[in-house]
Amino acid sequence: MSADAKKVVGELRAKLPEPHGPVLPGDRQRLLREHLMNEIRQAEVRTEKAPKAVWPRRNRAWYAVPVGMVAAGALAFTFLAGPGQGGGDTGSHVSAAPVVKVEVASAEGVGALMENVAKHASEGPANRVGKNQFVYVRSHYSNMQAEVGSPLKLKTYYRETWTSQNPAEVQSRLKQPGDDIIWSAPRAGDEGYVEDLQNQTYAALQALPTDPDALLKKLREDAKWSGSSDQWLFEYVGGLIRENILPPETGAAIYRAAAKIPGVVMVEKAEDGDGRPGVALARTDERTHERMELVFDASSYDYLGLRAYLVQDTELGKKGTVTELQAVLDRGVVDSRDETPKK
């Protein structure tokens, strides 16, 4: 690695929060990841010889903060259990990232698929989540672990979230191996992230336009902090789906709007993080060549989870290398951060 690249890696690594925070899911992880890669590439361009891969060891936890807030600091938090004592069902393990077949994807059928998903969403019960309640989601999750000169690895674990429906006053909770955390009051400069949380409560989602075109315009505005590209918009929509409960009409509109995002495709043979088969709405990031698939059951059209992988060889790995996995195992509404949904 060049001296310039080493310097950039060190500076960016120092900006990351301390260990034992919640792993950053979805779009925010990719924001940080791409920011890091862009900085490293710029440093490497200034050298005569660039190594094949320049990824630092991910020895710090990734926090749920937008990339613009990394230098300023993350939300304050309170540990309910210290490292090695909290969270998860079976701990975590790190293994080589699997390499999967890059399935054929096509824009044909996207509209029909999302119309079926939308119709299913519209049949759900309304007014499911109250202001003083929490949306609970339990997932099997894998996130990327990378280091210079070594094959990509995935860290896999069980993750539970209790998302507050009143984030300005009541804190959310995240539980995973080694961590059991309640977010406390935001610090100065975190207002944008708090606004993002408030935009994703059930009540806020219920107030969104239900016309797909008007909704797509509104979602672009809500996602503008992460960039203006269609890829960021797609990942923002994915973030709304993954650990939320959507109001029926809003959910239907979100799925119809997602079908209108330029570049989205349908993948007929897809799998979630636990290998459950389904059909996916997907989009490939033109910059990183990473395809993100939102996987739905082909019969019920329930959201199952996601899979992300490289569609061509890159400095990060070979074509087909998996970079992220999720399988949603349980989802419901509870009255406290200590409850799980009743069966």
pLDDT confidence of residue 324: 95
- What confidence tens digit (pLDDT) does each residue in 17-66 have? 333 333 344 444 444 455 445 554 454 444 444 433 323 222 222 223 22
Residue type at 157 in one-letter notation: Y
DSSP string, 143-176: EEE--TTS--EEEEEEEEEEEES-TTTS--EEEE
- Position 171 pLDDT exceeds 80: yes
pLDDT at 71 over 50: no
Over residues 176-224, the pLDDT tens digits come to: 998 888 865 455 555 556 667 778 899 999 999 999 999 999 999 887 7
The model's pLDDT over 228-275, given as tens digits with 9 standing for 90+, comes to 689 989 999 999 999 999 999 999 999 999 999 999 999 999 999 999
Distance, in Å, from the CA atom of 40 to the CA atom of 26, rounded to the nearest integer, reads 21
Query: 3-state SS of the chain: helix, strand, coil percent to 5?
Result: 30, 25, 45
Q: What percent of the chain has pLDDT over 90?
A: 56
Burial of 279 (0-12, 13-18, 19+ CB in 10 A): buried
Lowest mean pLDDT among 89-103, 269-283, 310-324: 89-103
pLDDT at residue 70 in the model: 31
- Greater pLDDT, 120 or 47: 120
Predicted TM-score of the model (pTM)? 0.78
| The predicted structure's pLDDT at residue 228 | 66
Among 255, 322, 269, CA closest to 291: 322
Between CA 207 and CA 202 the distance in angstroms is 9
End-to-end CA distance of the chain: 53
**What Cα–Cα distance (Å) separates residue 46 from each residue in 2, 6, 40, 56?**
9, 13, 10, 19
- Which of 327, 281, 323, 283 is CA-nearest to residue 305? 327
Residue range 276-308, pLDDT digits in tens: 999 999 999 999 999 999 999 999 999 999 999
Strand 179-183 vs strand 92-96: parallel, antiparallel, or unpaired? unpaired
Reported as type and span, the H/E element at residue 220 is helix 212-222
Query: Tokens 């791409």 sit at which residue?
Result: 34
Q: Supply the angle between the helices 248-258 and 110-122 in degrees, to the nearest 10.
A: 170
Residues facing residue 175 across a β-bridge: 160, 180
Q: Which amino acid is at 243?
A: E
Quickly tell me which residue has 């975590």 as its tokens. Answer: 92
Per-residue confidence (pLDDT) for residue 170, from 0 to 100 = 86
CA distance 276 to 307: 11
The conformation of residue 67, written as its DSSP 8-state character, comes to: G
